[in-house]
Amino acid sequence: MANLKTLPVVYEDSAILAINKPAGFAVHKTHANDQHETLADILVKERPYLKDVGEDPLRPGIVHRLDKDTSGVMLIAKNQEAFNFLKRQFQERLVKKTYLALVNGSPREPFGTITATLGKLGTKQTTQLKGKRDLVEREAITDYKTLHSYDGYTLLEVTPHTGRTHQIRVHLKSIGCPIVGDSLYGRRGAPLPKGLDRMFLHAQRIEFSTPDGKRLALEVDLPDDLARALEGLDKSSL
């Protein structure tokens, strides 16, 4: 389990808190009896007023989430008005999120848009919606762009336009380029870059409007473990 003594703050005003979430922390509990420490637990310890913000006591002030092993910038609403405002932006797709993902192999095209619909099968999302039973289709749209090619790997900039669970992970798998280190959707038995012991997915940037009318773009660097993993790879020509 990761160790986090205090929240790494990226930005804060009277309505919004943005943090640089470390990998290894679930954002919130899955049920009331969950004993694992989550980001929500740490938020309420540091800022007790947050327990009254939002729609679910297990998700105090939380308007969106990152997977447990995903690092990067994340927004928290500090009051109910800000929560409602941010939630509306996410619902209306007015928030722009940009991720960095290292994938196995390389996409057929250096950039593109993935529009495969998603359906849930148990705890996993899938693009295979027909078979022994039909799954409910949910629209999902993801843009990707190649930043660097390496020997056996590609670093992609990824922008999801919808917010489906595991969307980026499933969409990249669907084009034959699963995220390196993804234990759920990744390539079984694929070697990891030296020093990497988790999924290489990082929420690098988020752009949104604040309740007082400002348009903000917040960006955080790759954490040390991901940066070191890239440094150990051999680049190939694009």
pLDDT in tens, the chain (238 residues): 455 567 899 999 999 999 999 999 899 887 777 778 899 999 999 999 999 999 999 999 999 999 999 999 999 999 999 999 999 999 999 999 999 999 999 999 999 999 998 876 555 565 554 444 445 668 899 999 999 999 999 999 999 999 888 999 999 999 999 999 999 999 988 889 998 999 999 999 999 999 999 999 999 999 999 999 999 897 653 3
Domains of the chain with bracketed CATH: 9-229 (3.30.2350.10)
φ, ψ dihedrals at 36, nearest 5°: -75, 140
Active site (catalytic) residues: 67
What local confidence, expressed as pLDDT, does residue 129 receive?
A: 43
145-157: b (≥16 Cβ within 10 Å) or e: ebeebbeebbbbb
What local confidence, expressed as pLDDT, does residue 37 receive?
A: 85
- Is-contact 59 40, C-beta < 8 A? yes
What is the pTM for the complete model shown?
A: 0.89
Say which residues have a Cβ less than 8 Å from residue 65's Cβ, sequence separation at least 6: 27, 28, 74
Say which residues have a Cβ less than 8 Å from residue 13's Cβ, sequence separation at least 6: 210
Say which residues have a Cβ less than 8 Å from residue 8's Cβ, sequence separation at least 6: 19, 20, 22
Spatial separation of the C-alpha atoms in residues 198 and 19, rounded to whole Å: 20
What local confidence, expressed as pLDDT, does residue 237 receive?
A: 39
What local confidence, expressed as pLDDT, does residue 120 receive?
A: 64
Say which residues have a Cβ less than 8 Å from residue 149's Cβ, sequence separation at least 6: 106, 155, 235, 236, 237, 238
What local confidence, expressed as pLDDT, does residue 143 receive?
A: 98
